[in-house]
Structure 1
Amino acid sequence: MLTTQRKKAILELLTRDGQVLAAPLAATFGVSEDTIRRDLREMAADGLLQRVHGGALPASSAVAPFSTRRTLESSGKSAIGMAAAAMIVPGQIVMIDGGTTSAELVRHLPSNLVATVVTHSPTVAVALVDHPSIEVIMIGGRLYKHSIVNVGAAAIEAISHIHADIYFMGVTGVHPTAGLSTGDLEEAYVKRALAARSAETVVLASMDKLNAASAYSIGDVTLAQTVVVERSTDSAFTEALEAAGVSVVRA
């Protein structure tokens, strides 16, 4: 079998099973594990998968720059944003992450909502300027331009002084076994810090983020109490989350 044929077959197995392991692949194709590991390295370099210990997981497609993602309309993201906005109770202290799905959440907030929003996203903060009854607390730090969020030690220090009622987390990967992940190490630290300071964490997970993984782990799926997904999400995936003790809301 040619290398290109083997790689195509690996991708088909990855799509079917949600993960692949090097040792079984080597046995299936009659090649050494070193050959399979080389295939996986090359495929990871091409952005086709995410390598993990012993094998690989589907790579998240939600890693394009913010400006590109913002131009891609998604009815699914809009529905997730609407469902998330409905979870907010007046008077709460709400943490809102950066990202395009979070932008949809903000877009669906009632104009008369009375609440305090804590965010490390300049985009979210500016979007709330026209909400007269929402107090906005901006977390500062180094601007991570890819996602337009503030990260670093200064951000984590500021977060440590806040007790929030609910945190809406954006991710680039949600996988039943690999957990929650994102494409930047410092961003992962900030997301963990936000989750640690909130009574409830809700992950906003559009279809492109499901059953996929990125390079940096935020935590197990159980770091979230709730995951909001699109209505058409495969029940096998949501059942895996619910089996882990995570509530699933279909938007």
Structure 2
Amino acid sequence: MLTTERKALLLDSLGKEGRIIAKDFSEKLGLSEDTIRRDLRELAGEGLLQRVHGGALPVSKALGDLPTRRNVSADDKAEIAKVAAGMVKEGQIIFLDGGTTTIRIARALPKALKATVVTHSPDVATALLDHPGVDVELIGGRIYKHSNVSVGSVAIEAIGHIRTDLYFMGVTGIHLEHGLTTGDREEAAVKRAICRQAAETIVLGSREKLGAVSPYSVVSLDDIDGLLVSRKCPEDLLGPLRQAPVQIVGISS
């Protein structure tokens, strides 16, 4: 079997099954496990899957640049943003992560709301300029241009001095076994720091993130308080996550 044929089979199986176990696949094709692992390495290098111990998982579609991500699962994000904005109470201090969904949350907050929003995203801060009752605390640091957020030791040190009531976390991967992941090591460290300082953490789960894995771990599903998803999210994506010890918000009971 040609390499291109094997890779096509691997990607087809990944799309249907949601994961690849290298040992099982090698036995199925009568090939060495090393051959399959080599194919997985090459496919991962092309950004077509995410390698994990023993095999591979779907790569997150949420790893594109900001303009591209704005058009991914737009309906999901609009619904999630509306629900999230309704969870914010008068007088609270909340942290809005960077990302396309959190910008929508900022814009969806009631104009009459009196609250404090902490963020390391200049885009989120700008979206709140027409909310007269919302005080904005912008965290500084080195700008990670891919997501347009502050990262690094300066950002983490500043976050350590603020305790928030609620943190809306954005990630690029949400997986039952591998938890919450993102595409940059420093961005993951900042998210962990924010999570530690928040009384409650809600993760924003548009469908392209569910069941996917990115290279860098943020926290486990045990460390968050809720997963906010669209009511129209397919059950095949939600099913595995129902086993997690976390409340899934936004779906019919």
TM-score (norm: length of structure 2): 0.95
Percentage identity across aligned positions?
A: 52
Q: Determine the structure 1 residue equivalent to 2:201.
A: 201
Q: Is 1:221–1:241's contact at 8 Å kept on the other side of the alignment? A: no
CA distance in 1, matches of 2:208, 2:242: 20
CA-based RMSD: 1.4
CA distance in 2, matches of 1:12, 1:229: 26
CA distance in 2, matches of 1:123, 1:170: 14
> CA offsets, 1:115-165, max 9 Å, x none?
110100000011111111101111110000000000000111011111111
Task: Give the residue type in structure 2 aligned to 1:9.
Answer: L
Task: Give the residue type in structure 2 aligned to 1:89.
Answer: K
Q: Determine the structure 2 residue equivalent to 1:232.
A: 232
User: Residue 236 of structure 1: CA displacement?
Assistant: 4.4
Q: Determine the structure 1 residue equivalent to 2:18.
A: 18
Q: Determine the structure 2 residue equivalent to 1:126.
A: 126
5 Å matches for 1:48-127? 48-70=48-70, 74-127=74-127
Q: Determine the structure 1 residue equivalent to 2:173.
A: 173
Task: Give the residue type in structure 2 aligned to 1:212.
Answer: A
User: Residue 108 of structure 1: CA displacement?
Assistant: 0.7
User: Residue 70 of structure 1: CA displacement?
Assistant: 3.0
Q: 1:193 to 1:51 in 2, by over 3 A?
A: same
CA distance in 1, matches of 2:239, 2:65: 31
Q: 1:139 to 1:247 in 2, by over 3 A?
A: same
Task: Give the residue type in structure 2 aligned to 1:34.
Answer: D
| Structure 2 segments unaligned to the other structure (5+ residues) | none
Task: Give the residue type in structure 1 aligned to 2:148.
Answer: I
5 Å matches for 1:123-202? 123-202=123-202
The number of equivalent residue pairs is 251
SS of alignment partner, residue 116 of structure 1: strand
| Structure 1 segments unaligned to the other structure (5+ residues) | none
TM-score (norm: length of structure 1): 0.96
Q: Determine the structure 1 residue equivalent to 2:217.
A: 217
Task: Give the residue type in structure 2 aligned to 1:100.
Answer: T
CA distance in 1, matches of 2:72, 2:225: 28
